[in-house]
Amino acid sequence: MLAKRIIPCLDIKDGTTVKGINFVNLRDAGDPVELGIKYSKEGADELVFLDITASHEERKTFTELVERIALNISIPFTVGGGINELKDVDRLLSAGADKVSVNSTALRNPMIIDEISKNFGSQVCVCAIDARFDGEKWMCYTSGGRNLTDKELFSWAKEVENRGAGEILFTSMNHDGVKQGYANEALCCLSESLNIPIIASGGAGNLQHFSDVFKEGKADAALAASVFHFGEIAIKDLKYYLRSEGINVR
């Protein structure tokens, strides 16, 4: 039986791991490769490395870091941030990344999703979506939550699926950093309207939040950062808890 995945996310700035509280206040959470090895040993199912400054500063994700990660860890990982064109994807995959995550670039140029999936396979293409609920609608943002777009979450998610994205990584900006649980209602809606896996992001604060995101949010994978980086939740304990809740994990 296919297991639900637990994915620590490492936001990278200047080569170190950071986690934003609502994307603004950044705290240092250590060396990306060290953390990656630690999580891999503890039972993480995948890792995500996001170069959070790459997008707005138009800086390329460090290929060297990706190579170091690939050399040292034996589980799949996704790299995102600063992917503007197909050759960025080629460079990151050649450096050992298993998947690439596109976000702002896809909103500005949706064709990049078609191009990535056509050239490298849809399994390589994770489309990350940052959205905020404005009281009426979920609206998508670019550049790490800085700029509002005219795209609505559910129609944009459907569009990226049709264009060939292999997975959607949805971050609720309302929930991110506040540790009150994931955006389960929106996640459930995404999961039921799409046929590709959904990775939930934003809001994990305790063990039950993970159980809820699989049961209520119907997510295929749950991503979190600070609860792991600051040792608040150990992945081993989380897996044990989820198993006791009847959720199939590795």
Partner 1 sequence: MGIVIIKYNAGNIFSVDSAMKRLGVDAIVTDDKDLIRKADKVIFPGVGEASTTMKYLRENGLDSLIKDLKQPVLGICLGMQLMCKHSEEGNADCLDIFDVNVKRFIPQKHEDKIPHMGWNTITDVKNPLFDTTLENQYVYFVHSYYVPINSNTAATTDYILPFSAALHTQNFYATQFHPEKSGSVGEHILTNFLKL
Catalytic positions, written as ranges: 11, 130
CA distance 226 to 202: 10
Residue 82 burial by Cβ neighbours in a 10 Å radius (0-12, 13-18, 19+):
buried
* Interface stretch with partner 1, choices 72-80, 147-155, 175-183, 209-217 (CB under 8 A): 72-80
Quick one: 100 or 173, whose CB is closer to partner 1? Answer: 100
Quick one: 44 or 52, whose CB is closer to partner 1? Answer: 44
- DSSP E strands, 82-204: 99-102, 125-133, 138-142, 147-152, 167-172, 198-201
Q: CA torsion sign, 225 to 94 to 57 to 158?
A: negative
CA distance 68 to 31: 12
Residue with structure tokens 């777009």?
A: 149
Number of residues located near partner 1, criterion CB under 8 A? 33
Site residues for partner 1, window 126-165 (CB under 8 A)? none
Residue 110, interface with partner 1 (CB under 8 A)?
no
Residue 216, interface with partner 1 (CB under 8 A)?
no
3-state secondary structure of 17: strand
Residue 115, interface with partner 1 (CB under 8 A)?
no
The pairing of beta strand 138-142 with beta strand 5-13:
unpaired
Residue 30, interface with partner 1 (CB under 8 A)?
no
Residue 123, interface with partner 1 (CB under 8 A)?
yes
Residues 207 and 237 sit within 8 Å (Cβ to Cβ): yes
CA distance 82 to 66: 13
* Minimum distance of partner 1 from residue 2's CB (angstroms): 5
Residue 229, interface with partner 1 (CB under 8 A)?
no
Site residues for partner 1, window 36-55 (CB under 8 A)? 40, 45
Residue 111, interface with partner 1 (CB under 8 A)?
no
Residue 74, interface with partner 1 (CB under 8 A)?
yes
Quick one: 107 or 160, whose CB is closer to partner 1? Answer: 160
* Contacting positions for partner 1 (CB under 8 A): 1-3, 5, 40, 45, 67, 70-72, 74-76, 93-96, 98, 118, 120-124, 166-167, 192, 195-197, 220-221, 250
